Amino acid sequence: MSEVSAPAPAPAAGPRGVAVIEAVLATLPDSPGVYRMLDQRGEALYVGKARSLKKRVIAYTQLARLPERLRRMVSDTVAMEIVTTPTEAEALLLEANLIKRLKPRFNILLRDDKSYPWLMLTEDHPFPQIAKHRGAQVRKGSYWGPFASAWSVNQTVTAMQRVFLLRSCADSVFANRTRPCLLFQIRRCSAPCVGRIDAADYARLVEQAKSFLSGRAARVQQDLAAEMEQAAERLEFERAAAIRDRIRGLTHVQGSDIINPASLNDADVIAVWQAAGQSCVQVFFFRGGRNNGNRAFFPSHASSATAEEVLVAFLAQFYDDKKPPPQILVNADPAEQALLAEALSLKAGRKVEIARPRRGEKLAVLGHAETNAREALERRLAEATGQARLLAAVAELFALPRPPRRIEIYDNSHIMGTNAYGVMVVAGAEGFAKSAYRKFAMRGPITPGDDFAMMREMLERRFTRALRAREAAADGTAEIGVEDAAPADPPAAEEAPAGLPDWPDLVLIDGGAGQLSATTQVLEALGVRDVTLVAIAKGPDRDAGREWFHMAGRAAFQLPPRDPVLYFLQRLRDEAHRFAITTHRAGRSKALVRSELDEIEGIGAARKRALLNHFGSARGVKMAGLGDLEAAPGISRETARRVYLHFHPGVRLDVSAPAGEG
């Protein structure tokens, strides 16, 4: 794989973008690869792949044959970057990766910045734990999923507990139990923590659970039926009754219908529906013959994009960071279906089939997904219409020249000046844009109760950064630097989501006339005069519905208690307040997690975790004897002595003597 970059020449005639492309063509290979169109800020306008780069890219020089959208893209192009790949399938995978990372505004974009939950069975403990897991799969264990939502994986964990009686408690809790917990009493755990089941019998439960998750539920049910009969023959009626309850639970879990079809083992069912120039893609996850839930996606694309084009872009980007299942059922034939199947097979390391069923149970399941896609898109269009009316009413209320495309709401949270955070919440025509949220850890010392100082610091940092970006765009140079405010939910992109401008039309501040004055001073000092500022103050006794609105040059006013615009503004304010509180709590919890162990030289995250898991708390480590520290898993003799001396500085140890002899 190789990469080349071509800056813009100074064209003598014709559109600048065409001249850029023609300059690149001179050295472009006739091989597979990926090309990027870049604007004057160095940001990607479009990412595409091709079997033959030269044949594909030359088409962009023929402006008369291009639609208006692509002509506009070519005219904005000032540079191109080329990456060659060994095969077209690898080019397709690279294209999807770059589109998800760069979010070019002329591509079809999948907005999917959330990780998916998995079900985990640990394998680093004699009695494996069943738990929900999200994020990197670094702990030793077997992982099952993905699931569409936390709710669906929680339901599965609960069902697995009822049928297989596996523990869900953390290892530290397991190690310190002296009697069974409530889960044992309600028959959802076998209580291995207090010896109510031995390791061999528990291992058999784990194997049965794995068989069930692998789609071999019928075999598990047969084994349980045989166990129940044997117990009854031995007159162990209590044991037989317990196994009977497990069989009933298993029967309930594996019910077969359109929601849990018998003909699907490991598959994703994907249906696209289009209306009013928008698309909804509904995905149902089936693993081990069970429905792991569904999720709706609304890709960003031009209104002229067809269902087939949307589907191929969705599939490539959706599986960029996850392993595709052996079978993918779709309700439209994606463009380049064979190539896409080859690329996904390459990523999965086994064959992946993309099929459009024509009859039978699979078609019924696909029809169910299509119905969900249609209904989700209809709801979204109805909500967008209502949102547009509200934004128009907001523009009228605050005398804006047009409905606001971007509203920023600011709030802060702290306790007597400690763990002080400010937040920025963003809303637009499509509701809250959570990938544009920002949080600001306050840098300067905060006097307890000085919310004005926090607001000043937050707005100075936000608008100083925004002004630098504006100047860089005007100069035609991309700004390079570290983001001053942290994204709310990494890895959210630093740029605004597709279709959302990065400069606000309206700024809402939680507060009264004082906050408005402080905010106005900050923006005037920075030279920002094209943003409307509004402060929302709570009414008497902090009653919702009696808020006062403060604007420069206008007397404070209230809205009628049942005004829809008032509810809308309250929702914006409450979302900022919620985000400020959760950000502050997360920061405070992180500070509380820090303990005296962090002050010990040579104690990193892994050793700290080993000590806390073994002793239960930092206090337990502090009270431990030297011999106990040396016996802790993962702790060497030298490390144990270092920890012991930190908590007992007056003690002298004989470095040559074993524990207990110094």
pLDDT, tens digit (0-9, with 9 covering 90-100), for 446-455: 665 567 777 8
Q: Does domain 2-102 have CATH number 3.30.499.10?
A: no
Q: Can you list the alpha helix ranges (DSSP code H) found in 234-359? A: 237-253, 307-318, 337-348
Structure confidence by residue, pLDDT tens digits, 218-232: 677 777 777 777 777
Higher-pLDDT residue of 478, 468: 468
Other CB atoms within 10 A of residue 1 CB: 11
pLDDT band at 11 (very low <50, low <70, confident <90, very high): very low
**Amino acid 637: pLDDT:** 86
Q: How far apart are the C-alpha atoms of 577 and 399, rounded to whole Å?
A: 25
Q: What CATH class has 267-379?
A: alpha beta
| Strands, sheet with 353-355, edge to edge from the N-terminal-most edge strand | 290-297, 278-287, 267-275, 327-330, 353-355
Query: What is the CATH number that goes with domain 596-647?
Result: 1.10.150.20
Nearest to 29 by CA among 14, 51, 7, 46: 51
Higher-pLDDT residue of 407, 418: 407
pLDDT band at 262 (very low <50, low <70, confident <90, very high): low
**Amino acid 340: pLDDT:** 92
pTM (two decimals):
0.64
Q: What are the CA-CA distances from residue 424 to residues 392, 528, 544, 575, 637 (Å)? A: 22, 18, 21, 10, 49
Whether 85 shows a pLDDT value over 70: the answer reads: yes
Q: What are the CA-CA distances from residue 632 to residues 39, 124, 193, 223 (Å)? A: 57, 16, 19, 40
pLDDT band at 478 (very low <50, low <70, confident <90, very high): very low
Whether 4 shows a pLDDT value over 90: the answer reads: no
Rounded to an integer, the average pLDDT of 284-294 is 84
Whether 548 shows a pLDDT value over 50: the answer reads: yes
Pick the CATH number of 406-590 from 3.90.1200.10, 1.10.10.10, 3.40.50.10490, 3.30.420.340: 3.30.420.340
Rounded to an integer, the average pLDDT of 152-174 is 84
Most confident of the ranges 62-76, 409-423, 527-541: 62-76
**Amino acid 540: pLDDT:** 61
**Amino acid 481: pLDDT:** 36
Whether 510 shows a pLDDT value over 70: the answer reads: yes
DSSP 225: H
Report the chain's mean pLDDT, rounded to a whole number.
Answer: 81
The reply to whether domains 2-102 and 267-379 share a CATH topology is no
Q: Provide the residue type at 321 as one letter.
A: D
Q: How far apart are the C-alpha atoms of 643 and 648, rounded to whole Å?
A: 9
Whether 9 shows a pLDDT value over 50: the answer reads: no
Q: How far apart are the C-alpha atoms of 662 and 658, rounded to whole Å?
A: 7
The percent of residues in the chain predicted with pLDDT above 70, rounded, is: 82
How is the chain split into domains, by residue range?
A: 2-102, 118-253, 267-379, 406-590, 596-647
* Phi and psi torsions of 28, nearest 5°: -80, 130
Whether 241 shows a pLDDT value over 90: the answer reads: no
Structure confidence by residue, pLDDT tens digits, 336-374: 899 999 999 999 999 999 999 988 888 988 998 999 899
